[in-house]
């Protein structure tokens, strides 16, 4: 269980959203709708991107270390790990060490199981996410009577990053992801696709083109936003400075992201 506190001591204490890159912006967009008054720090571990091809030990060490240091420095009232890969691997260990409520990102298998009519669900995630026992447990608990087909699609992470930098992306990337799921036994009956990586809702329109009109998509962002709103209910908010985007490495790609960051209300950029 996340620790809750009815009233955060400092009304200027921010929400800290964390991802390997821009994926968590898909979560931030939903949080903004429910809590427009909340000061936000959005942290992207671009020095560690992509997480999806790293080992469990590498991801757990990076995420715990960075969140420990960021929490000490910025004193957030709540941390959201806006990344399925980091959450499915490191959520429990991060909760053990941080004295702040932590909201994680869980692949939306439960709502997908309620949505599907054919009983066949596709799941797109990173390679690291789709092999997690966490996903096995969600499948066993909520989709035991369904067929869940998983595909690791690292190309979509790069595509979402490129799209938000305003770069052209080869549409084949999306076609390949759809074709990989369709090619699995039973894949032709997929009617629901879980976007189990926070980068993927950023390219949902492109994926919808690739899958065709009979497929619906679901991701965890609405549930996360509701959970954050519930955990901070009754708290006061004060924004003392424009919201901040933090990156773990200064590189040229940050400049290309300035439009996307501004569109998500992140007017300042810093390197952590
Ligand atoms: N956005 C991350 C997720 O939700 C992962 C992207 C990556 O670093 O591979 O899984």
How far is C-alpha 248 from the geometric centre of its chain's CA atoms? 17
**Residue 87 in contact with ligand 1 by CB distance below 6 A:** no
pLDDT at 22: 98
Tell me the CA–centroid distance for residue 52 and ligand 1, in Å. 6
| Segment 225-246 mean pLDDT | 97
pLDDT at 1: 46
Tell me the CA–centroid distance for residue 59 and ligand 1, in Å. 11
CATH topology of domain 2-105+222-271: Rossmann fold (3.40.50)
Q: Which residue has the tokens 């400049």?
A: 255
**Residue 31 in contact with ligand 1 by CB distance below 6 A:** no
Q: How far is CA 243 from CA 190, 250, 265, in A?
A: 40, 18, 7
pLDDT at 34: 97
Buried b (16+ CB within 10 A) or exposed e, 68-103: eebbeebebbbbbbbbbbbbbbbbeebbeebebbbb
Q: What's domain 109-219's architecture?
A: 3-Layer(aba) Sandwich (3.40)
**Residue 201 in contact with ligand 1 by CB distance below 6 A:** no
- Is residue 50 over pLDDT 60? yes
Contact 77, 232 (CB under 8 A): yes
Which pLDDT tens digit goes with each residue over 176-214?
A: 999 999 999 999 999 999 999 999 999 999 999 999 999
Contact 245, 269 (CB under 8 A): yes
pLDDT at 7: 54
Site to probe by mutation for ligand 1, drawn from 52, 125, 159 as the one with most ligand atoms within 8 Å of Cβ, is 52
Q: Which atom of ligand 1 is nearest to the CA of 199?
A: 1
C-alpha angle 179-185-190 in degrees, rounded to nearest 5: 60
How sure is the predictor about 20, in pLDDT bands with cuts at 50, 70 and 90?
very high
How far is 52 from 224, CA to CA, in rounded Å?
21
Site to probe by mutation for ligand 1, drawn from 18, 50, 90 as the one with most ligand atoms within 8 Å of Cβ, is 50
How many residues can be counted in the chain? 272
pLDDT at 25: 98
Domains 2-105+222-271 and 109-219 share a fold: yes
| Segment 220-236 mean pLDDT | 97
| Segment 15-36 mean pLDDT | 98
Tell me the CA–centroid distance for residue 37 and ligand 1, in Å. 27
The whole-chain average pLDDT of the chain stands at: 96
Domain ranges of the chain: 2-105+222-271, 109-219
Which pLDDT tens digit goes with each residue over 126-151?
A: 999 999 999 999 999 999 999 999 99
Positive or negative: CA dihedral 39, 246, 169, 177: negative
Tell me the CA–centroid distance for residue 10 and ligand 1, in Å. 31
- Is residue 8 over pLDDT 70? no
pTM for the full model? 0.95
Known catalytic residues?
83, 197
**Residue 51 in contact with ligand 1 by CB distance below 6 A:** yes
**Residue 224 in contact with ligand 1 by CB distance below 6 A:** no
pLDDT at 9: 76
| Segment 113-127 mean pLDDT | 98
């Amino acid at each position: 269980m996340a620790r809750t506190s009815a009233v955060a001591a400092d009304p200027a204490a921010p929400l800290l959203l964390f991802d390997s890159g821009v994926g968590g912006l898909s979560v931030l967009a939903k949080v903004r709708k429910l809590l427009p008054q909340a000061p936000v720090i959005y942290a992207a571990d671009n020095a560690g991107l992509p997480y999806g091809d790293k080992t469990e030990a590498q991801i757990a060490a990076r995420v715990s270390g960075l969140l420990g240091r960021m929490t000490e420095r910025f004193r957030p009232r709540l941390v959201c790990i806006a990344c399925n890969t980091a959450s499915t691997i490191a959520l429990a260990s991060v909760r053990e060490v941080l004295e702040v409520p932590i909201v994680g990102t869980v692949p939306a298998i439960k709502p997908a199981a309620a949505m599907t009519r054919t009983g066949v669900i596709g799941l797109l995630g990173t390679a690291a996410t789709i092999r997690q026992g966490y996903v096995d447990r969600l499948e066993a608990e909520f989709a035991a009577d369904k067929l869940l087909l998983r595909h690791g699609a690292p190309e979509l992470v790069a595509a979402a990053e490129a799209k938000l930098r305003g770069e052209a992306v080869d549409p084949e990337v999306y076609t390949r992801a759809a074709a990989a799921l369709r090619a699995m036994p039973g894949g032709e009956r997929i009617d629901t696709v879980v976007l189990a990586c926070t980068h993927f809702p950023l390219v949902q329109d492109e994926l919808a083109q690739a899958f065709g009109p009979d497929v619906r998509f679901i991701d965890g962002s609405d549930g996360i936003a509701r959970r954050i709103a519930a955990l901070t209910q009754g708290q006061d908010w004060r924004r003392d400075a424009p919201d901040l985007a933090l990156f773990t490495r200064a590189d040229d790609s940050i400049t290309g992201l300035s439009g996307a960051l501004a569109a998500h209300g992140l007017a300042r950029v810093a390197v952590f």
